[in-house]
Amino acid sequence: DAGVIQSPRHEVTEMGQEVTLRCKPISGHNSLFWYRQTMMRGLELLIYFNNNVPIDDSGMPEDRFSAKMPNASFSTLKIQPSEPRDSAVYFCASSWDRVQPQHFGDGTRLSIL
Amino acid sequence: SQQGEEDPQALSIQEGENATMNCSYKTSINNLQWYRQNSGRGLVHLILIRSNEREKHSGRLRVTLDTSKKSSSLLITASRAADTASYFCATDGGGSYIPTFGRGTSLIVHP
């Protein structure tokens, strides 16, 4: 079975540009999570979806960040406009429900110049 | 904050030795999970232990949970170079079932 698929794996762009990260969760999983990982702050939960509905977005740093889940097989995380401090590895994870073990994608390494 | 804290931050051992990592947390939990992260990859789930459980095993992994001390340990026996990775604990509790991850322990196993 395919795991969680994220794209792109690497993204380098200039500040001010719009960045869109994509995630395909494991089929049948009802919960989807977006995380950001940096050396300084560790792994931070940005937003959690259940059955395609955003349940907890308290981790989204500011209005420049937005996330959508238009259907059970696709989610996006968008940053507009991007800033150098957004540079990090962004992970998507999915699970059967919020309590069950999460399956992580291999992340998108984002560099904002 | 429910976030667990792993200790030590870094651990370096020789192949064949045992590796022990600890996780401490502040408030009561529902579940505690351990994950592994290899360099450049996503996290991989290892073990979930519930608050009413004291010990779980999976292959060379042994996890203990002491809710009175609000701590857990992950023991890797007979370590291998392939065990080199970062190990994270994740706890949920305090009314939330969404796990919060610690900062991790970086384990290096020298062949």
For B43-86, what is each residue's pLDDT tens digit? Answer: 999 999 999 999 999 999 999 999 999 999 999 999 999 999 99
Map tokens 């507009």 to a residue: A80
Most A-contacting residue of B45, B56, B103 (CB-CB within 10 A), to test interface: B45
Which pLDDT score is estimated for B98? 86
Put simply, the answer to whether A42 touches B103 (Cβ < 8 Å) is: yes
Which pLDDT score is estimated for B2? 56
List of residues 6+ apart from B51 with CB closer than 8 A: B28, B29, B30, B31, B32, B65, B67, B93
pLDDT over 60 at B1, yes or no:
no
* Burial profile B35-45: b = 16 or more Cβ within 10 angstroms, e = fewer: bbbeeeebbeb
Which member of B33, B42, B103 has the closest CB to residue A107?
B42
Which pLDDT score is estimated for B97? 79
Q: How confident is the model at residue B3 (pLDDT cuts 50, 70, 90)?
A: confident
- Using a CB–CB cutoff of 8 Å, tell me whether B93 touches chain A: no
Q: Which residues of chain B neighbour A35 with C-beta distances below 8 Å?
A: 101
List, run by run, the mean pLDDT of 10-residue segments along chain A (113 residues): 92 97 97 95 94 94 94 97 97 92 97 97
Which pLDDT score is estimated for B96? 75
Which residue type does B75 have?
L
- Using a CB–CB cutoff of 8 Å, tell me whether B111 touches chain A: no
Which segment of A70-79, A95-104, B28-37, B87-96 scores lowest on mean pLDDT? B87-96
Phi, psi for B82 (deg, rounded to 5): -70, -10
Q: Which residues of chain A neighbour B88 with C-beta distances below 8 Å?
A: 43
Put simply, the answer to whether B43 touches A93 (Cβ < 8 Å) is: yes
